[in-house]
Structure 1
Amino acid sequence: MKKGIFAPKRVLAFGAALALLWMTSSVVGAEPLTVTDLAGRSVTIDLPVKRIVCAGPGALRLVVYMNQTEKVVGVEEMEKDPTGRPYAYAHPEFKSLPTIGPGGPAYIDRGPDPEATLACKPDLLFVTYMQGQNAEKLQDKLGVPVVVLSYGPLATFDETVFDSFGLIGRIMECNDRRADALVEFFTQMKQDLFERTAAVSEHRQKVYVGGIGHKGSHGIDSTLKSYPPFEFLGVKSVVEGLKGDHIFIDREKLLEWDPDVIFIDGGGRHLIQADIEKNPHFYKHLSAFKQGRVYLTLPYNHYTTNLGTCFANAYYVGTVLYPEAFKDIDPEKKANDIYKFLLGKGAYDDMKRSFGGYGPIF
């Protein structure tokens, strides 16, 4: 009887042991994954990837969006100051991680410090804005796979970033539904913004955005020819006819254009405030300043494009230019809703404390 009672348990135990052995061997002996990164390089990666570091503008932001923060084991020094970057406000634990190098605009296409990076014992390094040949050299030096991600052109919103989400998901073996959800989230917001303004027969107001960050903070003369929040709304900036994308305009041209509405990027607000005190007569000749039609937006480009902020700004700009079409939108709540989806928690209040919130200024 005892044999009859216990034999099935031994069979079950043996089967469980075999299953465990199979699962263990399948992990240890998993076939390496070969991917093509956003620099067009073929990179072979041993799976699973449990420890990662991120270097370059916005690399860490993409990993946060993909809910992979628990695997980050080292960050650039500049990531320890969250100012201007909602993902860093939402994840204060980054401050306690080892440093892999200074980071920042001066280190674009250079990569992190090899010794500091290796001390973190990463399985993989995600980088942005690095040429393929330099990524290859860094990979050879580290002996660790280096995968190049991309946002598309610097300081824009480009759907190339969707490919980065998919690549991270494939490498990290995380749920592909997250990458799909991110793509759907951004796509639906673009469609919503378009539909709200599609019925507007003519966009008559002359608009301008100044103080745009580009490898650092700048004043009123720093702008974008193609500012995504304007593009999403079908709004044309007064600088649309100029060449280039990021532009430093001639200040006299701003007087000539005399925009009806001026938006100030929060990252350049302090420089513009100082310039107003130094050159008040210039600003007194701008209709937008005389009529109180100057509005603050959150920093759009801070260690490349703040994607969530880009869309939050678009909704805010919509409430200013087309109040009837956006009468159901509370810009601060909308910003927090966007941050919560992307980061797991709100960050608008942190941004507001650092730069001031949405509203008229000056």
Structure 2
Amino acid sequence: MKKKLSMLLAIMIFVISILTGCTQTKELVNVEGDVVNDSSNPIEITDMAGRNVVLEGPIDRVVAIGSALRVYTYVNGTEKLVGIEKGQQSAKTGRPYIIANPELEKLPLVGEGFPANPDPELLMNVNADVIIAGDILDVNQIEELQKKIGVPIVVISYGSSAVFDQDMYNALTIIGKVVGKEVRSKELIEYMEGCKTELTNLTKDISEDKKPSIYIGGLSYKGVHGIESTSGNSPVLNVIGAKNVVDDVGKSGSVMIDKEQLIKWDPDILIIDENGLNLVKEDYQKNPDYYNALSAVKNGKVYGQLPYVSYYNNIETAMADIYFLGKILYPNEFKDIDVIEKADEIYAFMLGKPLYNIMAEKYGGYVQINLE
């Protein structure tokens, strides 16, 4: 009898110790493998400004300002968002992350949006647990704003590239940790890297003498521009090893060329970013001889690409554009790629909805262009 009581007592102690151990576990994990934050599980983050930020859980109310909102929607849709900047509120802008999430328009306003500074009073009104700020204020301004509103601010950054940037991956990782969606963040990074690998593999064996030259005009940069607005050392073209005539200038990023330089370069293929297409067509009507002197125009090698620059870079559209550009430049290598299907795959994975037709209706889509 004593042996039975001793065994029963031992079993009870063992069970109690297991239950006690469970209640003391610091990290709770959901069925998807994400860490669930609660009041006993503070989140410690080193943000992309090098600041150490401690968030006391649970994180249920989030505001994302500047470029952070777009990245946030990739990770967590509109879940937990409680405010939006006026500059990001309208789906009429053609920004995929807004089109995919029309409920964003109904959120309370927290400010005008970049380039205006955040509104402390409006931010306090929404009672956020955390603010995620992207590419909008310097560190001193962030610290001042945080003290003023009493809400922790986590800083992220896009990086300098329109696509496949390590800074972008870091931003996704940080947001995933803040909102308990680390598995989703990892999936996004793996998907983007998979696209990069596919594009690189499709084009890595093409010899330079088999590559047509290309120029992309009409690119947006702090506004809409005509044919003279382009990009040097373009990440969109570099990933497919394209022969970008603008690289002769030796500059990276936005470049405004003298229009006569385009005549000298005379690229084989001319791409017009459809944000600037109307300006290019207006210019054509004023000076058709200029455009008709270009080989690409003479040979019917003028195409439109979906605009990816609108309130910072729309990463998913830039990725879709690369597949389209690859198909135009290297039709044999991309013969098995349906660029419209690929665009919808990218939109669906990044934002949850196939958006190509909506974007094409707004801008024109992946089509051959007649400037007349």
Q: Counterpart of 1:11?
A: none
- Partners of 2:196 and 2:239 within 8 A in 1: yes
2:143 corresponds to which of 136, 145, 148: 136
- In the alignment, the residues of structure 2 paired with residue 300 and residue 231 of structure 1 have an alpha-carbon distance, to the nearest angstrom, of 16
1:76 corresponds to which of 82, 85, 91: 85
1:148 corresponds to which of 147, 152, 155: 155
Work out whether 1:100 is the aligned partner of 2:106: no
CA shift at 1:204, angstroms?
3.2
2:75 corresponds to which of 44, 66, 72: 66
2:321 corresponds to which of 289, 313, 317: 313
Q: TM-score, normalised by structure 2?
A: 0.86
Matches within 5 A, 1:25-40: 29-40=39-50
Other structure's SS at 1:55 match: strand
- In the alignment, the residues of structure 1 paired with residue 203 and residue 138 of structure 2 have an alpha-carbon distance, to the nearest angstrom, of 39
Aligned AA (2:296): A
Aligned AA (2:328): V
Q: Counterpart of 1:12?
A: none
- In the alignment, the residues of structure 2 paired with residue 217 and residue 155 of structure 1 have an alpha-carbon distance, to the nearest angstrom, of 17
- In the alignment, the residues of structure 1 paired with residue 252 and residue 235 of structure 2 have an alpha-carbon distance, to the nearest angstrom, of 15
Relative contact order higher in (CA < 8 Å, ≥ 6 apart) = 1
Matches within 5 A, 1:203-214: 203-214=210-221
Q: Counterpart of 1:5?
A: none
* Identity score, percent: 40
- In the alignment, the residues of structure 2 paired with residue 66 and residue 327 of structure 1 have an alpha-carbon distance, to the nearest angstrom, of 32
- Partners of 2:232 and 2:254 within 8 A in 1: yes
Structure 1 residue runs of 4+, over 3 Å off? 25-29, 154-157
- Partners of 2:163 and 2:318 within 8 A in 1: no
From the superposition, tell whether residues 89 and 172 of structure 1 become closer, same or farther in structure 2 (CA, over 3 Å): same
Q: Counterpart of 1:8?
A: none
- Partners of 2:77 and 2:351 within 8 A in 1: no
- Partners of 1:209 and 1:224 within 8 A in 2: yes
Matches within 5 A, 1:137-286: 137-153=144-160, 155=162, 157-174=164-181, 176-202=182-208, 203-242=210-249, 243-286=251-294
Other structure's SS at 1:360 match: coil
Other structure's SS at 1:267 match: coil
- Partners of 2:214 and 2:269 within 8 A in 1: yes
Q: Counterpart of 2:7?
A: none
Work out whether 1:330 is the aligned partner of 2:338: yes
- Partners of 1:218 and 1:268 within 8 A in 2: yes
Aligned AA (2:61): R
Q: TM-score, normalised by structure 1?
A: 0.88
Work out whether 1:53 is the aligned partner of 2:53: no
CA shift at 1:258, angstroms?
1.0
- In the alignment, the residues of structure 2 paired with residue 59 and residue 141 of structure 1 have an alpha-carbon distance, to the nearest angstrom, of 21
Other structure's SS at 1:66 match: helix
Work out whether 1:90 is the aligned partner of 2:100: yes
Considering only aligned residues, what root-mean-square deviation do their CA atoms show, in Å? 2.2
- Summarize deviations over 1:183-218 as a string: whole Å, max 9, x none: 111111111111111221224311111111112222
- Aligned pair count reads 339
- In the alignment, the residues of structure 2 paired with residue 177 and residue 336 of structure 1 have an alpha-carbon distance, to the nearest angstrom, of 22
Q: Counterpart of 1:41?
A: 51
Other structure's SS at 1:127 match: strand
- In the alignment, the residues of structure 1 paired with residue 54 and residue 70 of structure 2 have an alpha-carbon distance, to the nearest angstrom, of 23
Q: Return 5+ residue gaps in structure 1 as ranges.
A: 1-14
Other structure's SS at 1:316 match: helix
Other structure's SS at 2:133 match: strand
Aligned AA (1:182): L
CA shift at 1:46, angstroms?
1.5
- In the alignment, the residues of structure 2 paired with residue 94 and residue 258 of structure 1 have an alpha-carbon distance, to the nearest angstrom, of 44
Work out whether 1:357 is the aligned partner of 2:365: yes
Q: Counterpart of 1:6?
A: none
- Partners of 1:155 and 1:214 within 8 A in 2: no
